[in-house]
Structure 1
Amino acid sequence: MEINQIVGPDAASLRRQWLVLRDQNPTLRIRNAAQQLGVSEMSLLLTEPEDHVLRLKDTFSDIYASLSGLGRIMTLARNDEVVHETIGTMTRFTVSAQGRMGLCLGDIDLRVFFSNWAHGYAVTDKGPKGDRHSLQFFDASGAAVHKVYAVSATDMTAWQELVNRYLAETQRPEITESMAEKPARYKGFVDHDQLRNDWQSITDVHEFHGMLKKHGLDRLTALESIGTDWAYPVATNALEVVLNRVASDSLPIMVFVGNKGIVQIYTGPVVRLVNIPGWFNVLDHDFNLHVSTGGISAVWVVKRPSEDGDITSLDGFNRDGELVFSVFGARKPGVPEMARWRDVVASLDMMS
């Protein structure tokens, strides 16, 4: 699909359809509208007036290193099932692997995989409450990877300077979107004995991905194959159960949500939990989480060995077997897992 065709009749038709949908349902998110219309979110965004959607240079690591000068911002990472929003100041953003990876620690905690990023835009949404400013980044298929929003405490002078500094020379280049890769579950032979040996040999939770890669397994297949002493399924509403329990105990946790381009992490307690039809939400001052309850197909308790003892997480998957959230007890390297967190997770009933 050539995005530069937005000035043609097809794009004009798409624009009209988007406006009709928005008029019928003012709260409809652009991601969901794009799904209904059978196009990418980026394609739909680019039907907006050009001065509302400014193309940025693809120097994404430089842009993110500059976010520390903006003061407080809101960052949003999501997949189709879970939305994760944190508010804070970007600090200590570092780049490694020849610019392919980024790391940010602090109020805003990110693990970034820039090789899966392709496009960025500075967006101004016009609304009844005034302008809303954001930086939005997409992969080669036009799917949103990460978004950064200005909040009341953001330095808007610095924001505008950043946009001007990274503005692309060509604003509407010809772009051909690639097809989004569909996830595939592993269906071959699993060497259960070798998998268990390698699993039990892990000394750091960050070695887990390498172990999966060694065996050529997707995460859910590995959980299904390892044995219930290391992983077992629980009810699909287990996240709600766990968050209610940790909230009542003021127990700090770590919530990981992401996609192929980024993982965003919140560490701390959760307080205000709100369940509305179809969505379970955390609505706290500096952290929001929105979980589509109908989109969670499986939830597993997972234990991984480490030098600090076993580390326990609650992992949620969608219908395609993709990981959409992970929750851990809050901890630092070198510190054992909290017994209270382990007790909360252990109270969940194993599903047959």
Structure 2
Amino acid sequence: MDQRVKPAPHEIRRARSDNPKMRERDLAAQLGISEAELVAAHCGEGVLRVEARANDLLTGLEAVGEVMALTRNDSAVHEKIGIYDKVVTGDHSALALGENIDLRIFPKVWKHGFAVEKRDGDDVRHSLQFFDTAGDAVHKVHLRPASNLYAYQKLVARLQSADQSPAIAVEPAPAHMDAEVSGTPTDAAALRESWSRLTDVHEFFGMLRKLKLGRRQAMRMVGADYAWQLEAGVVPLMFERAVADEMPIMCFVGNRGCIQIHSGPVRNIKPMGPWLNVMDETFHLHLRTDHVAEVWAVRKPTKDGHVTSLEAYDADGRMIIQFFGKRHEGEVERADWRALAESLPRLAAPVAA
């Protein structure tokens, strides 16, 4: 974000009215502010500030019924239509484990929240929008025609903030989770030893933190039996083959405050310019393929045998999107997914460490 003087709330509202068709995220960038500041400027004009209490949100949303859950980062937007159920609350992490809405939430990252009403002719569209300390979106919930508006209004009243001012304070974004770690890295032998002793994919991040390594640093060091770099354009090819084989996959898109997961087949792929779009009945994905700078295939040992992921990164080393074959705890990896991942074209000259 640049260092120019930020516009006042009334100036932000005027810019919004002058650009009614522009996406909030794009208008905020044009104004040199965060998306949360843009939304906050409209408090009292279709926007109500709510407290970013992720656990209370999760427990209150089931009664609202069918909604659309949206989680995004700079390069991918992941949308799922369904119900928030099978909720597990927690201070460090919280979960929604429903059939369609499957989330991993990190409540301490959530800072700002808003209930937003938008008029579209005679219709009013309702959403709950949550942001981190930098004002970047972590998660949004959009009501649908089948949603229970009364339950939604009760939830909004429960979360309503005493502070309804149209300005918020934001802080610079912290270093991203996948950042390279400076200093003397762990030697490859120590990394391979730790990697070989993994018993669950969820142990991977803890291993990296203990060894003081970034994800791509580890992949470059560990050896091609555990991680190998693919051609940067393989993600559309992966989708093409998964659709042709009706193969159920898992697709993860996340940011610091939330990870959202699709599990199941994908069917309707629509490229449009740089965007790869999945437009299925309960799953929509919008991926900027031109942002993908590196793709890695990664094998992680588990107690059920190794599992294979595809991981796409942007030019700054941030993970954009991650894929697995659909599986449940205690199941071996799907043979068709493993074969697909291992058949994708490898990069002829991998990036040096």
Structure-1-length-normalised TM-score: 0.92
Contact kept, 8 Å, 1:230 with 1:302, in 2: the verdict is: yes
Contact kept, 8 Å, 1:54 with 1:171, in 2: the verdict is: yes
1:188 deviates by 2.7
Distance in structure 2 (CA, Å) of the matches to 1:228 and 1:129: 58
Distance in structure 1 (CA, Å) of the matches to 2:275 and 2:285: 10
Aligned to 1:163: 156
- With over 3 angstroms needed to count, the CA separation of the structure-2 counterparts of 1:174 and 1:277, relative to structure 1, is closer
Aligned to 1:138: 131
Is it true that 1:47 corresponds to 2:41 in the alignment? Answer: yes
The one-letter code of the counterpart of 1:246 is A
Distance in structure 2 (CA, Å) of the matches to 1:147 and 1:58: 11
The one-letter code of the counterpart of 1:240 is P
Moved more, 46-55 or 336-345: 46-55
- State the secondary structure of the residue aligned to 1:337: coil
1:66 paired residue among 49, 60, 74: 60
Distance in structure 2 (CA, Å) of the matches to 1:268 and 1:223: 27
Is it true that 1:100 corresponds to 2:96 in the alignment? Answer: no
Moved more, 212-221 or 266-275: 212-221
Is it true that 1:245 corresponds to 2:241 in the alignment? Answer: yes
2:80 paired residue among 82, 86, 95: 86
Distance in structure 2 (CA, Å) of the matches to 1:101 and 1:270: 28
Aligned to 1:283: 279
- State the secondary structure of the residue aligned to 1:83: strand
Aligned to 2:335: 339
Aligned to 1:233: 229
Is it true that 1:10 corresponds to 2:15 in the alignment? Answer: no
Distance in structure 2 (CA, Å) of the matches to 1:91 and 1:163: 18
Is it true that 1:31 corresponds to 2:33 in the alignment? Answer: no
Aligned to 1:180: 173
- State the secondary structure of the residue aligned to 2:303: coil
Aligned to 2:184: 189
Distance in structure 1 (CA, Å) of the matches to 2:168 and 2:344: 48
Q: Deviations over 1:259-310 (max 9, x none)?
A: 0001011100000000010100100000001001111111111110111111
Unaligned ranges ≥5, structure 2:
none
1:243 deviates by 0.9
Distance in structure 2 (CA, Å) of the matches to 1:19 and 1:188: 49
**Deviation above 6 Å: which 4+ runs of structure 1?**
none
Contact kept, 8 Å, 1:219 with 1:323, in 2: the verdict is: no
Aligned to 1:350: 346
* Alignment coverage as a number of residue pairs: 341
The one-letter code of the counterpart of 1:81 is S
Contact kept, 8 Å, 1:192 with 1:226, in 2: the verdict is: yes
2:103 paired residue among 90, 100, 110: 110
Aligned to 2:144: 151
- State the secondary structure of the residue aligned to 1:50: coil
Distance in structure 1 (CA, Å) of the matches to 2:8 and 2:259: 35
The one-letter code of the counterpart of 1:265 is I
Distance in structure 2 (CA, Å) of the matches to 1:142 and 1:93: 26
Fraction of identical pairs, as percent: 39
- State the secondary structure of the residue aligned to 1:222: helix
Aligned to 1:201: 197
1:322 paired residue among 300, 306, 318: 318
- With over 3 angstroms needed to count, the CA separation of the structure-2 counterparts of 1:317 and 1:129, relative to structure 1, is farther
Structure-2-length-normalised TM-score: 0.92
1:173 deviates by 7.5
- State the secondary structure of the residue aligned to 2:78: strand
1:49 deviates by 5.1
Q: Deviations over 1:219-258 (max 9, x none)?
A: 1111121111111111222111111101111110100110
The one-letter code of the counterpart of 1:187 is S
1:19 deviates by 3.3
- With over 3 angstroms needed to count, the CA separation of the structure-2 counterparts of 1:228 and 1:210, relative to structure 1, is same
Distance in structure 2 (CA, Å) of the matches to 1:56 and 1:316: 34
Contact kept, 8 Å, 1:69 with 1:158, in 2: the verdict is: yes
The one-letter code of the counterpart of 2:124 is D
1:289-304 aligned at under 5 Å gives the runs 289-304=285-300
Unaligned ranges ≥5, structure 1:
none
